[in-house]
Amino acid sequence: MELSRKEKFSNRRSLGFLLGALAFFILLLILPRPSGLSASGQRVIAVVIMVVLLWATEALPVALSSILALVFLAVVQGVGSTADLFAGFASPLPYFLLAILVMSQAVRKSGLADRMAGWLIRGGMGHSGRLYLKLFLSMPFLALVLPSAITRNAILIPAYEKGFRRLGLAHGDPLPRGILLSLGVLHPLASSALLTGGINSMTTATLLGGFSWLRWFVLMALPYWTLLALGGGLIAFLYRQKVIAPYGNPETPAGAGPLSLTEGKVLVIVGVTSLLWLTDFWHGLNPVIPALLAAAVLLLPYLGILGWKDFEESASWSMFLVLGVSLTLAQALAASGAAQWFAREAILALSARVLAPEWILVFLVVLVSVVHLTITNMTACISLLIPVAATFGRTLGLNPVVLGLIVGISVDAVILYPLQTTTNLMAYQLGYFSAWDVFKVGVLMLILTALVVAFLAVPYWRALGLAL
């Protein structure tokens, strides 16, 4: 069948992006190697920039781009061994993601998603503004009850998707785009305002040292919640839609009535899993173990909740590939010295020319965001950049703790393409918003983050005794 004009244009554009990414890859390989950068580091940077361009432009399916990244990394000998090439898949994170997807599918199939969709949408029936407001008001509370933003998205995303279907909203409509962008890009900010809210806050606090739960909350809640509120207002403005049609009969809304047996089973399993996550300080289990246990129980044929074929047909294996490959690339950047070289040279070279502290902070936010483009794993990015920021701070006579906190906020708040975070990838794979939507919101969040850091967070911290 002959392709339409629009499809032909899309194919030509994708081919152009693909050729551009390959040309950029070759150019980076043949350019003279900068001083202080190893040969393997130059090759790894070339591969990383090529795959980031492919991911960001969607010139190829993201899973295919991920596979090609491994092939190119092996061909240019960017890693030392085959084990290093697949190191990302030895991490627990890809398997945690699969377990979360099983839980998400069980929530959807059991009817719990329908029930939550009814609760979420009843409060804003007839007006999108109320739906947005209810979402953002619930985020800090949900972060206290269930710290993992990934887990919350695994529950909320299918619930909202059910609601969108009931409202008859299509993929291109502003309301689902805005809500799912909020869940993907902004939702983790609610977690990071709490010390126990996620791996990012724990990593930052551990590297900087000296933080109690209360001190972290007092210092970080204001900047994080301010960014959450400003980002929410920004997305609501960009994707505003004044009125939506109510659905169903208000007297008998969807999700009403007693819990079914299947809903009860899923609720007990998810509840026990959440309890195990919240008590990890006592039993010491990695969060992936309770998640995998929950997935195994939910897939048992005797319980009648979810069959393996159901999961296999609905699971997004591209997410598994993307996460594993991104972890491999992050490790290759660190092992080759490329990440350290780039962060050190870029931050010191730019900031040394700027005298005003506010501009130093703005440049730090921007450069952290640039480094995060290539190191998609947030924990790896924070772990790499906080020591660099501390060295930079001591060189210029600035407080390394303040700079380290800014690194953590910047990594959390600025997301420029869909595959940078798992929470965003979970929302993106439903197809309600595009890579351009993420980039547009990400650039505006970059500006907001720089302003909040320079003119709110730093003066606020100074008032609390933590001066720059």
pLDDT digits (tens, 9 = 90+) for 82-129: 888 888 888 776 787 788 778 777 877 787 766 766 666 665 555 667
Question: For residue 93, what are the contacts with CB-CB under 8 A and spacing of at least 6?
Answer: 288, 323, 327, 377, 422
Amino acid at 338: A
The DSSP code for 421 is -
Token look-up 């195990």 returns: 276
Report if residue 60 sits inside a domain.
Answer: no
Task: Report yes or no: 69 and 332 within 8 Å, Cβ to Cβ.
Answer: no
Task: Report yes or no: 89 and 324 within 8 Å, Cβ to Cβ.
Answer: yes
Angstrom distance (rounded) from CA 297 to CA 300: 5
Q: Quick one: average pLDDT of 130-135? A: 78
Angstrom distance (rounded) from CA 315 to CA 308: 10
Query: Among residues of the chain, what percentage have pLDDT more than 70?
Result: 79
Task: Report yes or no: 181 and 433 within 8 Å, Cβ to Cβ.
Answer: yes
Instruction: Count Cβ atoms within 10 A of the Cβ of residue 278 and give its class: 0-12 exposed, 13-18 middle, 19 or more buried.
Output: middle
Angstrom distance (rounded) from CA 306 to CA 437: 34
Task: Report yes or no: 107 and 266 within 8 Å, Cβ to Cβ.
Answer: yes
Task: Report yes or no: 373 and 331 within 8 Å, Cβ to Cβ.
Answer: no
The number of distinct structural domains making up the chain is: 1
User: Residue 213 is encoded by which pair of tokens?
Assistant: 């739960």
Report if residue 136 sits inside a domain.
Answer: yes
Task: Report yes or no: 55 and 62 within 8 Å, Cβ to Cβ.
Answer: yes
What does the pLDDT look like over 415-426, one tens digit per residue? 887 777 778 877
Q: Quick one: average pLDDT of 338-356? A: 65
For residue 452, what pLDDT band results from cuts at 50, 70 and 90? very high
Angstrom distance (rounded) from CA 126 to CA 211: 45
The mean of the pLDDT values for the chain is 78
Question: For residue 325, what are the contacts with CB-CB under 8 A and spacing of at least 6?
Answer: 51, 66, 67, 69, 70, 88
The highest-confidence range among 15-19, 254-258, 451-455, by mean pLDDT, is 451-455
Angstrom distance (rounded) from CA 263 to CA 106: 9
Instruction: Count Cβ atoms within 10 A of the Cβ of residue 205 and give its class: 0-12 exposed, 13-18 middle, 19 or more buried.
Output: buried
Angstrom distance (rounded) from CA 53 to CA 22: 9
The highest-confidence range among 85-89, 125-129, 191-195, 236-240, by mean pLDDT, is 85-89
Q: What is the pLDDT of residue 250?
A: 42
User: Residue 446 is encoded by which pair of tokens?
Assistant: 């970059």
Backbone angles phi, psi at 266, to 5 degrees: -65, -40
| Beta strand segments in 210-281, E | none
Report if residue 164 sits inside a domain.
Answer: yes
Token look-up 């309890």 returns: 275
Report if residue 391 sits inside a domain.
Answer: no
Task: Report yes or no: 103 and 270 within 8 Å, Cβ to Cβ.
Answer: yes
Report if residue 181 sits inside a domain.
Answer: yes
What does the pLDDT look like over 33-58, one tens digit per residue? 888 888 888 998 899 888 878 877 77
Q: What is the pLDDT of residue 146?
A: 63
What does the pLDDT look like over 280-319, one tens digit per residue? 667 777 777 888 888 888 888 877 777 777 777 666 677 7
User: Residue 370 is encoded by which pair of tokens?
Assistant: 């640039």
pTM greater than 0.75 (yes/no) = no
Which alpha helices (H) appear in 397-466, and where do they start and end? Answer: 400-413, 422-428, 435-452, 458-463
Query: Among residues of the chain, what percentage have pLDDT more than 90?
Result: 8
Q: How does 132-153 read in b/e, with b if 16+ C-beta sit within 10 Å?
A: beebbebbbebbeebbbbbbbb
Token look-up 């008998």 returns: 252
Neighbours of 376 (CB within 10 A): 26
Task: Report yes or no: 317 and 23 within 8 Å, Cβ to Cβ.
Answer: no
Report if residue 330 sits inside a domain.
Answer: no
Token look-up 């660190």 returns: 334
Report if residue 346 sits inside a domain.
Answer: no
Helix/strand/coil (H/E/C) assignment for every residue in 103-137: HHHHHHHHCHHHHHHHHHHHCCCCCHHHHHHHHHH
Report if residue 86 sits inside a domain.
Answer: no
Q: What is the pLDDT of residue 315?
A: 63
Per the structure, the complete domain to which residue 113 belongs is given by 93-317
